[in-house]
Amino acid sequence: GIDCSGTSRMCCRKEFFMDFKEIGWEDWIIQPEGYHMNYCAGLCPLHMAGIPGLATSFHTAVLNLIKANNADAAVDSCCVPTHRRPLSLLYYDRDSNIIKTDIPDMIVDACGCT
């Protein structure tokens, strides 16, 4: 995956951090101090479909087939997360119990074109 720089308009990962203190959530979330959500943005021209892509073998094959047979019917490719990881949270629930859990797929690590 590529991290967004100032000039490129191609599909890349933008970093986004939400500070729990800033939004007033530090009283019920003990750890961590914030959430590195990140997200994907940028252009995905058709020739970039499946690079690096999700489930590339299948999707690339189908897209290439469509492209080859009928360019007008082709779909645009989207810039989406290709690798995500869990967010570990230690927090108070409504009864002031303390809960530790890993929420799957919450942090975007890499982006690519579908």
Q: How many CB atoms lie within 10 A of CB 44?
A: 22
Distance CA 34, CA 89 (A): 10
Among 3, 15, 33, 76, binds another protein (CB under 8 A): 76
- The reply to whether 104 sits near another protein by the rule CB under 8 A is yes
**What tokens were used for 28?**
């019920």
- The reply to whether 58 sits near another protein by the rule CB under 8 A is no
Distance CA 96, CA 94 (A): 5
Residues 33-52 that bind another protein (CB under 8 A): 35, 37, 39-41, 44
What ranges make up the beta strands (E) of the chain? 12-14, 17-19, 29-31, 34-36, 39-41, 79-92, 98-113
Closer residue to another protein, CB minimum distance, 23 or 62: 23
Distance CA 41, CA 78 (A): 9
Among 10, 30, 54, 110, binds another protein (CB under 8 A): 30
Least gap, CB of 35 to another protein (angstroms)? 6
Binding site for another protein (CB under 8 A): 16, 18, 23, 25, 27-28, 30, 35, 37, 39-41, 44, 72-76, 78-80, 87, 89, 91-104, 106
